[in-house]
Each structure stands twice: as structure tokens, then as C-alpha cells.
Structure 1
């Protein structure tokens, strides 16, 4: 590394150290700008023999420093997560309601409540006064039963 009196921007034969950010270790006893490493095996060092001004100048031109509003970004992320959870909860409730309605419909189909209603029944007097004979009514009934058993 370069001595503290010279700037790293002007010297040749500089070692550049690469490591993932989570491998950096900073303790209170370290000086400003000094860091250590949790795992030395993750550290890579590249020696730069001669400074290439073209690259440095291009990097300086494209360098962008921004001061992010971390609180606002965190709130935006949290709001998006809340909206997603609300949407999932709404979809879940809608699916549960659809399932409940389908289950009720299936229960209604299987029940016998609608079979013995007074308005659907006919008395013997009505049959006798009608134009169909008893034999024709029995044939209609048997035909209807056969059609129902074929459908199910």
C-alpha cells in the first residue's frame, strides 16, 4: 500500500484489495479508514503496476455520488409489502367465499329439501280429474326416474 503521506491517486505499484462487503470487519479500536476481514480466504489482491490516467479520468467522469433518503426508501418498501399482503389477503378471502358458496350449492343439490314441497305435489283427486290415466302417469314417473339415474 501507499504511504499515508502520498495520495493513492498518484502512485504506481499499488495493491488493490477486493472482498465481499460482508467480509469486512470494523472494530472500535481501529483507526478511521482501517478495516479488517472476517475470512482472509475471501480477500483478493491485485497489483496495479502503472497508473492508467485514461481509466481514472473515465471513472471520475461517470462517478455519481448520491445521498439517498434511506428512511423514505424503507417506508416505500414497507408500503409495497403491505399492499402486496393486502392483495394476497383479499384474494384468499375471495377464494374462501367462492369455495363456501360452491360448497353450499353442492349441499343444496344433494339435499332432499326441494323434493317434498306442497306446490310440487299433486293429489289423487287432481290426477283423477286430469286428462292422463293412472297408467300414463306411472309411465311418466318411471321415465323421469330413469332419466335422472342416467344423468347422475
Structure 2
């Protein structure tokens, strides 16, 4: 199975003409932590099934796809992985590249070695080793869509 992984799949904000993607805060997005908020099925203090809310580093659809692949004995290839749109105003990113880049890489690698809950599902899931290959694409989207304002890039 092939999938693309960009900033919003790693619950990092993507700014495009003022639009902050991934749950459009505050709905299911923790702005301060730059993480998605979702519930998984856990247990309450009495051992009963209960919705447990927490922050996640990955959009819910990505670990679900990886679990689906694992359940069907298929490997996953991340065919496109790239960082994009570090700033809301498209201005200078001086000083943000290392910080945001390290966060992006850390979250991508944690997806490749993920063990834990998956939103809307019960139990812990071990997804280590399902992602077998990652291809990075150098987008240069730090300043938006590199000056393409007419929508032709889409």
C-alpha cells in the first residue's frame, strides 16, 4: 500500500493563505502542542469501556491505514514525504527550519515504529515494521506554494 505523508498527517500545522489545516482549531486540534486530539476506546476506573481523549502526533487516518495494511499482511510504502508551510504569513522561516524539521522527522519516525492506541479503536496496536520504505520529496514549501498564487499548482 502506498501513502503520502505531509505535515497535516503528522498533526503539524500547514498554512496556506491563512488556513491552518488539521481540524481547523479548536476542533480536535491542540494549537499549543501542535497535535491532533482524538478519542480511543479505553477503560474507565471501573474497567468499563470508555472514550479516552488524548493528543496524537498522527492524523487518525494514517495509523488506521497502517493497521489495515498489517491486518491484511501488506507492507506500506510512504511514497511521498515532505515538509511544507512553516509560517502562517509566508514570511521568513529563519530559525524554524531546524526546530520544525526535527519535529517533523521525529513524528515520521515515530509513525514507522508506532505502538499505542489508535483513535476510535480499542486496545493498543503494534505497527512496527509495517512501513518498509519512505521516499522524501524536497518541496521547498516553507514560504507557501513558492509564489504560485493563481491556483495552478493544485
The structure richer in strand per residue is: 2
**Please, what TM-score do these two structures have when normalized by structure 1?**
0.17
- Structure showing greater relative contact order (alpha-carbon pairs closer than 8 Å, 6 or more residues apart): 2
**Please, what TM-score do these two structures have when normalized by structure 2?**
0.16
The structure richer in helix per residue is: 1
